[in-house]
Amino acid sequence: MKSSSRTVLLVFSLFVFISPACVQRSQSPSSPSQKTAHTVRTEIVIAAVGDVMMPGSIQATIAKKKYNYDLLFEKVTPDLSAADITFANLETPVDHGAGISGYPKFNARPELLASLKRAGVDIVSMANNHIMDAGVAGLKRTLGNIDAAGLVFVGAGSTKAGATEIKRITAKDMTVAFLAYTYSTNERLPRRKPDEPGVNILRTDSEADLALAVERVKEAGQSSDLVVVSLHWGDEYAAVPTAWQRQVAEELIETGADIILGHHPHVLQPIESHTAEDGRQGLIVFSLGNFISTQNSGVSYKNKNSSRARRGDGIILSITIVKEAGKTSISRADFLPIWTLRDMVGGTRIFRPVSLAREIERLNAITERSRDEEGLLKLLSYRREVILKKLTKKPE
């Protein structure tokens, strides 16, 4: 498990949970060790990012760089590796039996997974619409490659039952359970074949699927300190969540989920808290936005408000979890605004995520900026303000 030291200060606190009502799961204080547990306070940080997209232009550039995917993440590695557990939505198969490809059917090389691991990612969701892009055989090989890279996957499996498996990661003395669902897959899953690979599905407006997810969340909470549910849902490019997203999130939190990590819209959606009837306070991230893509290609300060501009916005979410006297609570949530920048790397332009604050600081330090640098500074400053305004606005 990664070190809990935080090398980069994550800023812009969303809220702080400090009231007794925020107490989550607790153990019965029946043993002497439990009676004195109040003297021990454990804290971990869970980080999360959105969609890891591998479009053709990024793949082609990485091929020229000897498939050094590390280049894509090097500017945010300190932020990802600072957390105890880091989550990402892996929206591409990684099938070494096929060539690299971009939209509409993605596929990357196994070196991508090793780079994600080195960047600090621990667990990836495979429950998304693109994970079947390489077919059943590609899904099987992707599962093996993720295992070989030392990453944990959730939301898919070598069997239908395996796809619904609860994955647990222990950091310090806290056990965090993960579940993942997608509204669908672009390529059809094998039907009526329980021994074939599967992907965990929660279809839009399906009360039956939601009922199954509710039971799974209950099970996850029985032997875990915290339950995190990844949901690939909502409408693409929509700035606000649908009524179905709100219903699902609230029902799962009422059932026992603590954190909802949403993705698929490819733009940021609000971050909110929901207080369950039992007093637990859950965190809902309706959409984390893109982590890496080229969907904001062609955006400049001149068209800073275009629909494509919002597709470059993202965050690295940082959630602090505290366990004391056998009780677990969410202490605070912070986010670091990021942007997928077409950055110069060794004489080549490549799209990769960067910290907006650090890029703005770097550009401000240039005493004589070129016209391009001045335009970039204005663009990044503007997008940073857009993200801050959107995610710190109180829900109506």
Q: What is the pLDDT of residue 190?
A: 81
Is the confidence at residue 303, as pLDDT, over 80? yes
Average pLDDT, the chain: 90
Tokens in use for 180? 């993942």
Q: What is the pLDDT of residue 69?
A: 97
Q: In this structure, is the dihedral angle defined by the CA atoms of residues 92, 272, 319 and 334, taken in order, positive or negative?
A: positive
Per-residue pLDDT band for 194 (boundaries 50, 70, 90) equals confident
Q: What is the pLDDT of residue 163?
A: 96
- Whether 162 contacts 132, CB under 8 Å: no
pLDDT digits (tens, 9 = 90+) for 243-295: 999 999 999 999 999 999 999 999 999 999 999 999 999 999 999 999 999 99
Q: What is the pLDDT of residue 396?
A: 58
Is the confidence at residue 192, as pLDDT, over 90? no
- Per-position b or e across 285-310, b if 16+ CB within 10 A of its CB: bbbbbbbbbbbbeebebeebeeeebb
Question: Between the CA atoms of 248, 251, 256 and 259, what dihedral angle is there, to the nearest 10 degrees?
Answer: 40
> CA dist 388 to 50, 265, 299, 315, 356, Å?
17, 18, 19, 10, 11
DSSP characters over 230-274: EEE-S-TT-SS--HHHHHHHHHHHHHT--EEEEESSSSB--EEEE
Is the confidence at residue 364, as pLDDT, over 50? yes
Beta bridge partners of 318: 47, 334
What SS3 class is residue 64? helix
> CA dist 17 to 201, 230, 279, 340, Å?
32, 22, 12, 31
Q: Are strands 259-263 and 281-285 parallel, antiparallel or unpaired?
A: parallel
- Helix or strand run (H / E) with residue 378: helix 371-392
Mean pLDDT score, 365-392: 97
pLDDT digits (tens, 9 = 90+) for 126-162: 999 999 999 999 999 999 999 999 999 999 999 999 9
What SS3 class is residue 283? strand
pLDDT digits (tens, 9 = 90+) for 208-250: 999 999 999 999 999 999 999 999 999 999 999 999 999 999 9
Mean pLDDT score, 320-329: 93
Is the confidence at residue 339, as pLDDT, over 80? yes
Is the confidence at residue 365, as pLDDT, over 50? yes
Is the confidence at residue 321, as pLDDT, over 60? yes
DSSP state letter for 324: E
Q: What is the pLDDT of residue 2?
A: 65
Domains along the chain with CATH numbers: 13-356 (3.60.21.10)
Is the confidence at residue 13, as pLDDT, over 60? no
Q: What is the pLDDT of residue 145?
A: 98
- Whether 163 contacts 128, CB under 8 Å: no
**Phi, psi (5° rounding) for residue 350?**
-150, 140
Q: Is 125 exposed, middle or buried (0-12, 13-18, 19+ CB in 10 A)?
A: buried
Mean pLDDT score, 106-125: 98
Distance CA 358, CA 77 (A): 13
Q: Are strands 167-171 and 259-263 parallel, antiparallel or unpaired?
A: unpaired
